[in-house]
Structure 1
Amino acid sequence: MKRIIFISLLFCLHTSVAQKSEIEWIGFEQLDDSLQIENKPVLVYFYTDWCVYCKKMDRNAFKNPDIISSINEKYYAVKMNAESMDSIEFEGQTFINEQAKTKRNGVHQIPLILASREDKKVSFPTLLVLDRNFRIRKRSFEYMTSERMKELIKG
């Protein structure tokens, strides 16, 4: 009987852990460490505080239980304010917001490198799907509904 109760408790604990209610966002520094432990694809989300569509995605698509489950299971999820003033250490380099010295809403070096379009402009929200070798596989430079988000993160 004790064994059955123990197994039941383990199952309930596993189910509650597996069914998280939020995406487990990490930063680039945590990503560097995580990739050393397990190499898996990466979802990168660049946003700004003033971006209305970013806030709408945070309230809708990123609250969808299927999306939360899929992202937490398949990806390292990195969320970054594109106008961050933080110095970020990643892969042995330090990245900063160089534009902040001359612009009010300067864009950090990391989104400039990863999220620039062919015309060298950045827009938000930006979502990137990177493979295990950190190559960009998919990009989105616009608001994503839950259905479109599911397509983006689909294996």
Structure 2
Amino acid sequence: MICITCLCAFNLNAQKQTSGVNWITFEQLYDSIQNKPKKVFIDFYADWCMPCRKMDKEVFPAPAISKILNEDYYAVKMNVESADTIRFGNQIFVNERLNRRNPVHQIALLMARRKNRPFSLPAMVILDENFEAKARYFQFLNTDQLLDILQSN
């Protein structure tokens, strides 16, 4: 009986690890792109953002989405209200607005800002292998929409 319980627990753990997107941090991203250049997908979110939460629940777990993100991209997920200091290469990024209204982290503002428009969520950025921005999206994307975008970039 104990062996069966252990086997079931192992099986569930293995399924958790193989399903969904393998999200990494900006620090992990820097090391990864130095070793093996690859396209980058960045998902900026906040806990209060309902479209972000809906994408987390419905879109990112989709097998086709997680497969393409895990195989063809480095996938980074970042809470824009984070108080973390992020080291990326020789640069340091902080949340300068931490104790203010709309405390959006510096790195999110740098990568997902739109000219003459306020920062909005959800915000997704796609970078090529040379770490140059190729596309930015500021809306809920369903599975089919995101899949088309990921396959075309």
Q: With the length of structure 2 as denominator, give the TM-score of the two structures.
A: 0.86
Query: How far apart are 1:105 and its partner, in Å?
Result: 3.5
Query: How far apart are 1:142 and its partner, in Å?
Result: 0.3
- Establish whether residue 150 from structure 1 lines up as the match of residue 147 from structure 2: yes
**Number of residue equivalences:** 138
Question: What does residue 98 of structure 1 align with?
Answer: 96
CA RMSD of aligned residues (A): 1.6
Query: How far apart are 1:152 and its partner, in Å?
Result: 1.5
* Structure possessing the higher radius of gyration over alpha carbons: 1
Question: What does residue 55 of structure 1 align with?
Answer: 53
Aligned with 2:77: secondary structure?
Answer: strand
Question: What does residue 108 of structure 1 align with?
Answer: 105
| Aligned mates of 1:76, 1:87 — CA distance in 2 | 20
Query: How far apart are 1:104 and its partner, in Å?
Result: 3.8
- Establish whether residue 126 from structure 1 lines up as the match of residue 126 from structure 2: no
Identity %: 43
CA contact (8 A) 1:20 1:68 kept: no
| Aligned mates of 1:134, 1:116 — CA distance in 2 | 16
Q: With the length of structure 1 as denominator, give the TM-score of the two structures.
A: 0.85
| Residue number among 28, 33, 41 corresponding to 1:43 in the alignment | 41
Moved over 4 A (4+): none
- Establish whether residue 21 from structure 1 lines up as the match of residue 19 from structure 2: yes
Cα deviation per residue 1:1-34 (whole Å; 9 max; x = unaligned)? Answer: xxxxxxxxxxxxxxx89x9201000010000111
2:124 maps to a residue whose letter is L
Aligned with 1:25: secondary structure?
Answer: coil
| Aligned mates of 2:106, 2:39 — CA distance in 1 | 22
| Aligned mates of 2:142, 2:57 — CA distance in 1 | 11
Question: What does residue 82 of structure 1 align with?
Answer: 80
Question: What does residue 66 of structure 2 align with?
Answer: 68
Q: Which runs of 5+ in 2 are unaligned?
A: 1-13
1:119 maps to a residue whose letter is N
1:139 maps to a residue whose letter is R
Query: How far apart are 1:56 and its partner, in Å?
Result: 0.2
